[in-house]
Structure 1
Amino acid sequence: MNASDRTPADLLRSALAADPARPLVTFYDDATGERVELSVATFANWVAKTANLLQGDLAAEPGDRLALLLPAHWQSAVWLLACASVGVHADVQGDPAAADLVVSGPDALEAARACSGERVALALRPLGGRFPQPPAGFTDYAVEVPGQGDRFAPFAPVDADSPALSAGGTELTGAALVERARAEAGRLGLEPGGRLLSGLAYDSWEGLAAGLYAPLAVGASVVLCRNLDRLAPDALAQRTESERVTVTVR
């Protein structure tokens, strides 16, 4: 990655310029058997569409706080980078009542109703499927995102020194996030081209760093595993080998 990158969105742009075809996020859900692999280019396309939805249809502005009530999931990673692209402060597992808008998975819809602003719901079904019946009072992400533009340009430049992420009591600016992500990659021994398997939840800086930001910061990739505790040890060993994992965090 480039030394001049100061926001997560900068990191993604650099990854796209360097090698758009390489894998970036490989997602497993060991409760459903789902596996999804996204190249840098495919992931960036989802981010662009989601950022356009966020900035356009949802009228989010830099500095707005978004409560992100989602588990460790590839679509959660997309939303984190979409927020960074717009300049929205992503408050992971934050209080919806204190947020300008909320993005919720199916298990947090009741809590999400406390938000007085825009509400977006994700079904988290395989292949990005929509809700069979859209929840009342919410925009169904899977319905709205496909029609969004494939390229994104923010209405205003993103300030790298503004709050970008809150998680588990830690609040970081975009610049501080990038710096800490690089440091975390070094601590984990993650090198460019490496593959990090993470079974950590997206509810702390450690989980978010391992499950997205550290691999992105150094030109590596992540094998993000939800419900990893359901996987037998021999199956985990097989996955580690087949996915060419170089670092494991559980």
Structure 2
Amino acid sequence: MNSSDRTPADLLRSALSADPARPLVTFYDDATGERVELSVATFANWVAKTANLLQGDLAAEPGDRLALLLPAHWQSAVWLLACSSVGVVADVQGDPAAADLVVTGPDTLERARACRGERVALALRPLGGRFPQAPEGFADYYAVEVPSQGDRFAPFAPVDADAPALAVGGAELTGAQLVARAREDAGALGLVPGSRLLTGRTYDTWEGLSTGLFAPLAAGGSVVLCRHIGQLDADGLAKRVESERVTNTAV
């Protein structure tokens, strides 16, 4: 990664420039058997579409606060980078009533209704399946809103690396602070370019977000993100480590 990168969106751009075809996020849900692998290019395409949705259709502006009520999931990772691309603060598991807009999974719809701004719902079904019927009062992210968005994104205003970018666990980080912490974590985890980090940590703490996205991205590596990993026995975990060519673990 480039030493000049100061926001998560910068890290993604550098990864795209270096090797767009390599895997970036490999996602497992051990409750459903789902496996999804996204290359840097595919992930960046999802981020661009989501950032266009956020900036255009949802009229989000730098400094706006987005309550992100999603579990550890590849689509959650997309939203985190889309927020960084626009300059929106991703408030992970934040209070929807205090947010300008909310993005929610199917299990937190009622909580998300407290938001007075735009509301987006994700079904989080295998293969990106849509809701059988869109929840009332919510835009359906996968089925209706994001596919038609553009594949390239340009912010209306430059993103300030020293402005708040992420809130999680009671702490708030600027883009530059987030990148610096991700780099520190990557070093502590022994990550180098090409590393593949397997993690089963949740996305409601900095440690979970760092191992599940930011540290591998900062190192030029990739993540094997496992939701419901507790359903794997030791033999199953060992087989996954081998099959996914895992070099580091943080479970």
- TM-score normalised by structure 1 residue count: 0.99
CA distance in structure 2 between the aligned counterparts of 1:21 and 1:179, rounded to whole angstroms: 26
DSSP 3-state at the match of 2:159: coil
Matched, 1:218 2:190: no
1:23 Cα deviation (Å)? 0.1
CA distance in structure 1 between the aligned counterparts of 2:117 and 2:128, rounded to whole angstroms: 24
1:126 Cα deviation (Å)? 1.2
2:6 maps to what in 1? 6
1:28 maps to what in 2? 28
1:191 Cα deviation (Å)? 1.2
1:189 maps to what in 2? 190
1:170 Cα deviation (Å)? 1.7
- Tell me which amino acid in the other structure corresponds to 2:3: A
1:160 maps to what in 2? 161
Matched, 1:124 2:124: yes
CA distance in structure 2 between the aligned counterparts of 1:18 and 1:209, rounded to whole angstroms: 21
CA distance in structure 1 between the aligned counterparts of 2:61 and 2:156, rounded to whole angstroms: 9
1:26 Cα deviation (Å)? 0.1
2:172 maps to what in 1? 171
Unaligned runs of 5+ in 2: none
CA distance in structure 2 between the aligned counterparts of 1:233 and 1:198, rounded to whole angstroms: 14
CA distance in structure 1 between the aligned counterparts of 2:42 and 2:125, rounded to whole angstroms: 18
1:248 Cα deviation (Å)? 0.7
CA distance in structure 2 between the aligned counterparts of 1:231 and 1:196, rounded to whole angstroms: 17
1:63 maps to what in 2? 63
Map 1:108-123 to 2 at 5 A: 108-123=108-123
DSSP 3-state at the match of 1:120: strand
1:80 maps to what in 2? 80
CA distance in structure 2 between the aligned counterparts of 1:170 and 1:181, rounded to whole angstroms: 15
- Tell me which amino acid in the other structure corresponds to 2:197: L
- TM-score normalised by structure 2 residue count: 0.99
CA distance in structure 1 between the aligned counterparts of 2:170 and 2:245, rounded to whole angstroms: 33
Unaligned runs of 5+ in 1: none
1:179 Cα deviation (Å)? 0.3
Tell me how large the CA RMSD over aligned residues is: 0.4
Q: How many residues align?
A: 250
Matched, 1:198 2:194: no
CA distance in structure 2 between the aligned counterparts of 1:148 and 1:31, rounded to whole angstroms: 31
Which 4+ residue blocks in structure 1 deviate beyond 3 angstroms?
none
CA distance in structure 2 between the aligned counterparts of 1:109 and 1:162, rounded to whole angstroms: 29
- Tell me which amino acid in the other structure corresponds to 1:156: A
CA distance in structure 2 between the aligned counterparts of 1:128 and 1:59, rounded to whole angstroms: 24
The percentage of counterpart residues that share the same residue type is 82
